[in-house]
Amino acid sequence: MQGYLHLQNGQSFEGDVSSTWKKDVQGEIVFFTGMTGYQEVLTDPSYKGQVVVFTYPLIGNYGINDKDSESKEIQVGGVVMFHCATTTAHHEASISLSDYLNSHQVPFITGVDTREVTKAIRMDGTRQAVVSDKKEVNFLNPTTGQIYQTENNDIEEFGEGSVHIGLIDFGWKKSILTSFLNRGIKVTVVPFSKAHQLHDLSLDGLVLSNGPGDPKDAQKHLSDIRGLLESLPSFGICMGHQIIALAYGADTHKLSFGHRGANHPVKDALTGKVFMSSQNHNYVVDEESLLATPLAKRFFNVNDDSVEGLEHTQKPILSVQFHPEAHPGPQDAEWLFEHFISLVTNKKGEEVHV
């Protein structure tokens, strides 16, 4: 059956749909350049409601398994591919990608020239798009001022260990939690709306998670978060990085088409080393706005010089725009977990000896 991808600027792309869905889906259209990792992308809360274009032509070859999802459900609004695998032979696969999307009533379209769609996004920037089985559609005004609504509004504890960190949930990925649990760290996850309750816990460190949307939508929570940052070794990832910058008075702005993929080169200004990173974000920190803050640029993007990470000049506070947990993507930046844990344990050791 014929399907269509309609862009808000009037462009349309034809493709095929193998099943019907209950209604058309509208969302911000973005593209992901990785050859693998589609399951992690589909379930990553940072992609909440977006229409994702996979630029690699063959998607779904190894199917969907029971362990690689980053959350409990599919987060994307729609999917655009050149080819979607309908079968799989991988020994860990439990369902094909096409059946997985159909079973969750997620609209997807295949047979689309994803190269041309990507060129359109790069030329004019991200914009609203509709995946439909109709030749003509009406666009709705996109919802604004809404940051991620957490799946669970309760405080949850995971793992055991002598080091205890709090994870502020802006739309956290399972692999971030797993990265700490695998290192013997006890983690308490708290929705961003309840960040103030972390003051009542005996924490050794603080992590601010990734998440979708504009970091400025969390403006009313910045005071509580700043108080926590002042008292605990802290680590921000993706949106968490942007929230830390805003909490200290810096500014953020939206990129034309964002950074999404598993091969973005990042340089460490301290060591001069370059490594590959996994990224998924629309917003970045304005470098000039850092001048009036106690934050300094630690990492930057080799391709466009954008800020990729910060360090506090006096406190054990670190943030990165990319994903050191590397799901999907290269593991070049996983050392940052050990680095942050060392900041936490050093601070804890100082307090014990006082």
Residues assigned a catalytic role:
238, 323, 325
C-alpha distances (whole Å) from 173 to each of 29, 131, 200, 239 are 21, 26, 25, 12
Place of tokens 């506090």: 312
Structure token digits, residue 248: 């200290």
**Torsions phi, psi for 30 (to 5 deg):** -140, 165
Tell me the HSE value of 131 on the side-chain side, using a 13 A CA sphere. Answer: 31
Structure token digits, residue 193: 């709306």
Please give the sequence-ordered ranges of beta strands (E in DSSP) within the chain, or none if there are none: 2-7, 12-16, 25-32, 51-54, 58-59, 78-80, 83-84, 108-109, 128-132, 156-158, 164-169, 186-191, 205-208, 234-237, 252-268, 274-285, 295-301, 307-312, 317-320
Helix (H) or strand (E) holding 244: helix 239-247
> Residue 354, exposed/middle/buried by CB under 10 A (0-12, 13-18, 19+)?
exposed
Please tell me what DSSP assigns to residue 314.
Answer: S
Other beta carbons within 10 Å of 1: 8
Distance CA 326, CA 37 (A): 10
Distance CA 354, CA 348 (A): 10
Pairing mode of beta strands 156-158, 108-109: unpaired
User: DSSP characters for 262-282?
Assistant: EEEEEEETTT--EEEEEEEEE
